[in-house]
Structure 1
Amino acid sequence: MSKVAFVRNELVPEKPAPVKTTGVVGFLRTRLFNSPTNILLTIVGALLIWFTFVPALRFLLIDAVWHGADRSACLAETAGHPVGACWPMIQAKFTQYIYGFYPENQRWRVNLTFALGALLLIPLLVPRLPAKGLNAGLFFLAFPVVAFFLLYGSGLRGFGVNWTTSVLTSLADSIGGAGDGLMRASASVPLTGSLLWALGKLIALIGTAVAYVVSPLAWLNRQIQDSSRPVWADLAITALIVSVLVIYLAGGLRTGFRSLMATLLTFAGIAVVIAVMGLDHGGLPIVDTRQWGGLLVTLVVSVTGIVASMPIGIALALGRRSTIPLIRIFSITFIEFWRGVPLITVLFFATYMLPLFLPGNVTVDGLLRAVIGTALFAGAYQAEVVRGGLQAIPRGQGEAASALGLSWWKMTALIVLPQALRHVIPGLVNSFIALFKDTTLVSIVALFDLLGSLRASFSDPTWSVPNTLFTGFAFTGLIYFAFCFGMSRYSLFVEHRLNAHRRN
């Protein structure tokens, strides 16, 4: 009997998975009911959803009132059923929640500011789009100036020389006034009077020296103001001075030609903005910050605080690790002081106490004081987050950079700091989210942010029904959740993209 060999030319088809491990049944068996603990957690979670999500859904959508002209539309007697959210109130007060008390005929300026901000921010967040350096310069440097003149209004009374002269003159007056004050106070202090008098005399001499340095600029400023178009004359002289400095620092015209062209293009762009916005002859009408409110104030305080707190935090983190005792002690003192007081205390001090310490002829806008206080407060927390990232970098990274001949600045900017910031992305974004939500505290110091505008709308008797309170807080809660969730998801995207090489 002969034997016949058999060789299979194709694989045996795979058998289908058991029904109990795939599909909905498999998900329930393997994920939700695979152990007594998971069964208990599944039941508790289902009960929480039933008693929280379902009533919220009924309140916001199913039992909600969508159309109406006044409070009567949101009454159960009118609707014929238990009334949930009163959305007509949100429609009636929507502009107040966005703009506050900003004049209605000038709200196009706010819309234009929002549009410019989104137009510059979105390309900056998309990694594949080119020209990131130019985009970042426009967003972080040019956009704040344009946004200020759009939102606040007014025109330019000067550009570079005028502004520098004004700042240095005010500084000299403040230093001289402080020195004279110490000299007068020394007469009432018997023990340390001589020491205070000497200190006051030294400070007064410093103020005199600053005023002496300012005098050539003051003469040049007077010549500019006497011209027929002072803003354009100031811009031209400032462009000339800056161009000469750029050529000098670059080592001559041949090596600094590209830097010179970039400088001239920058001043050309500034000239275009001045001409388009009419800043050389009055500009837009002034809208005082006390009329700002709603989402506008929330975004101004939060975005400015987030952007300004990052360089402050990085500088303080590097200063705390410095080998120079004076810089290290100052950084530690600054961080511990600002972390040791609550934000509401900072806002109260910036709003009501800071004007008492300023000279009589110096005034600072209330919104600007709140923004500065918020930025300094957030910067102290950012410093500790960044310092944690710096400590995670091995010492060999810095030693290798030093062996290659890199200076401390290049080593920090090109090697150490990028790695440190990549390690602390979750902590940084967590601080950003906390700061965005903490901006609601500005309503306590008479600044009507989104939450403050909401609370102000409750006093309108046209919509005084019980449901408007919960509807308003639900609406603002959704706005805050949208912004915070967006920041959280984008941070996960950035973290995943920067750490992709570690998975290989």
Structure 2
Amino acid sequence: MDNIQLTNSEQILSSKPKKEKTILDWLKNNLFKDWKNTLLTVVALIFSIYILSKVFHFIFTSDWEVVTNNFRLLMIGQFPQEEIWRVWVGVLFISALLGLSWGLWRGIIGHVAITIGVLLLVFGIMPYTEGNSKVNLFISIALMAAFYFIGRKAAHVFKILTLVLWILYLPVTIGVLNGFGILEPVSTNVWGGFLLTLILANVAIVCSFPIGLLLAVGRRSKLPIIKYSCIVYIEIIRGMPLIMVLFIGQLLLPLFVGSEIQLDNVLRAMIAFTLFSAAYLAENIRGGLQSIPRGQFEAAQALGLNNIKLMVFVILPQALKAVIPAMVGQFISIFKDTSLVAVIGLTDFLGIGKKIAANPEYLGKYLEIYIFVAFFYFIFCFLMSHVSKQLEASLGVGKR
């Protein structure tokens, strides 16, 4: 026994401590391991330097006057100058909500808040931003920071209040923009730019999710009238291009609701986007429902759960968790597809950019305007993708 203990002690003493890998070790093992990797690294480095030099040359030598002179038009379209305060009410509201949510939950919502805060800061320090807008932007950042600290110290009841405010955010913002029937109404015909893009995308995402959820569950119903009604709706909508759905919303929807109800073009577009997105979300969620093993249903039924409790507490959480990537992909798609409203006469973010590029005063400067528009689309699409990735990681999607 003494010999065995002595031998183990000698092995422990003789074993060398593992050397921590440095950056040079990582470079050697991954980029310069042999002559083939070294050659690929050098070629990729030269190509990257060439591309980056062209990108920076374009950024610093292009005439961005086409963007700076039309910045307000790109952001809010032809929204009346004297009523812009309504837009700022929405910005301040979302800033406070983001800060409060960040303080209460931290995690994923913090990534969203930081991204929005950085964007507000960038526009706040830009020289071409108007004085009043600068003040409002910095107030939004300060409000976000203040409510973050409030959220950190807040009680649990604030979480319920915050969820209620998130539910009310979209209708309240749209109501303020439109006047709520109290203020002087601002016609949706002058809504445009990034403001219109965000409103259409938010309404479509928020409203299509519950509809798609009901359609997916209804398609699995044992009642034939519910099952086949859902199937017919889903297959018809998925069999039509979005442009056709938009035209149906503009031309045929008023005939169905009657002349007593007046639907403006923006509301028709919201309905069309919502109905279109709901059909695709329904199929995504149905895929998640089909991935749930039969044993989950049987186990829940053995515990005495009725069909509603079984679906709400056992099946749907697992199904939605499994299809997070597909659902977020659909949300990103609908956000980008809002640019199609140009075919029905609405001027969204890209539509405003096209009109500016067609202006004889800015002839030949279309590349600057399109890159600026593409940058905004990229930021928000990347943000949704990043949130999806973080949500999957926190829920352990794909892990056993």
Q: TM-score, normalised by structure 2?
A: 0.78
Partner Cα separation in structure 1 for residue 374 and residue 230 of structure 2: 37
Q: Tell me which residue corresponds to 2:170.
A: 144
Q: Deviations for 1:425-481, whole angstroms, at most 9, x for unmatched residues?
A: 11111111111111111122111111111112224444x242x21111111111111
Q: Name the % identity.
A: 38
Aligned length: 344
**2:336 is the counterpart of 1:310:** no
Please give the alpha-carbon distance, in whole angstroms, between the structure 2 residues aligned to 1:132 and 1:469.
46
Give SS of 1:375's match.
helix
1:112 maps onto 2:89 in alignment? yes
Q: Give 3-state SS (helix, strand or coil) of 1:433's partner.
A: helix
- Are 1:401 and 2:300 counterparts? yes
Number of the residue aligned with 2:233: 334
- 1:389 is aligned to 288
Is 1:429 matched with 2:328? yes
Q: 2:105 aligns with which of 127, 139, 142?
A: 127
Match of 1:472 in 2: 369
When the two chains are superposed, the root-mean-square deviation of aligned CA atoms in Å is 2.9
Query: Larger radius of gyration, structure 1 or 2?
Result: 1
* Alignment-derived partner of residue 485 in structure 1: 382
Q: Kindly state the Cα deviation for residue 349 of structure 1 after the two structures are TM-superposed.
A: 1.6
Q: Distance in 2 between matches of 1:291 and 1:375?
A: 22
Higher relative contact order (CA 8 A, sep 6+): 2
User: Is 1:380 matched up with 2:279?
Assistant: yes
In 2, distance between residues paired with 1:448 and 1:150? 20
Q: Structure 2: which amino acid aligns with 1:455?
A: K
Q: Is the 8 A contact 2:322 2:397 kept in 1?
A: no
The 5 A counterparts of 1:255-294 are: 283-294=182-193
Q: What CA distance in whole angstroms lies between the structure 2 residues aligned with 1:335 and 1:47?
A: 50
Which deviates further from its counterpart, 488-497 or 350-359? 350-359
2:339 aligned with 1:414, yes or no?
no
Alignment partner, residue 349 of structure 1: 248
Structure 2, unpaired ranges of 5+: 1-5, 107-150
Structure 1 residue 97: Cα displacement:
0.8
1:241-260 deviation digits (Å, cap 9, x = unpaired): xxxxxxxxxxxxxxxxxxxx
Larger CA deviation: 361-370 vs 288-297:
361-370
Residues 121 and 139 in structure 1, CA contact (< 8 A), matched pair in contact too = no
Instruction: Find the aligned partners of 1:121 and 1:372 in 2 and give their Cα distance.
Output: 27
SS at match of 2:331: helix
Q: Secondary structure at the match of 2:70?
A: helix
Matched ranges for 1:43-58 at <5 A:
45-46=44-45, 48-58=47-57
- Give 1:355 shift: 2.8
Distance change in 2, residues 1:123/1:377 (3 Å): farther
Partner of 1:100 in structure 2? 77
Contact map agreement 2:192 2:347 (CA 8 A) in 1: yes
CA offsets, 1:295-332, max 9 Å, x none?
11000000110111111111111111111111111111
| Residue 124 of structure 1, CA deviation | 4.5
- C-alpha deviation, 1:88, in angstroms: 2.4
Question: What is the one-letter code of the residue matched to 2:165?
Answer: L
Rounded to whole Å, the distance in 2 between the matches of 1:496 and 1:286 is: 45
Equivalent-residue separation in structure 1 for 2:399 and 2:27 (angstroms): 34
Alignment of 1:153-168 (within 5 A): 153-155=179-181
Contact 2:177–2:186 at 8 Å: present in 1 too?
yes
Gap change, CA 1:400 and 1:10, over 3 Å in 2: closer
1:360 aligns with 2:259: yes
**1:497 maps onto 2:360 in alignment:** no
Q: Secondary structure at the match of 1:323?
A: coil
Q: What is the TM-score of this pair, normalised by structure 1?
A: 0.62
CA pair 50-15 structure 1, distance change in 2 beyond 3 A: same
Paired letter, 2:322: H
Please name the residue that 1:205 is paired with: none
CA distance in 2, matches of 1:37, 1:382: 46
* CA pair 42-434 structure 1, distance change in 2 beyond 3 A: farther
CA displacement, residues 241-299 of structure 1 (integer Å, 9 cap, x when unaligned):
xxxxxxxxxxxxxxxxxxxxxxxxxxxxxxxxxxxxxxxxxx21110000000111000
- CA distance in 2 between partners of 1:333 and 1:52 (Å): 50
CA drift of 1:488 comes to 1.0
Distance in 1 between residues matched to 2:335 and 2:39, nearest whole Å: 37
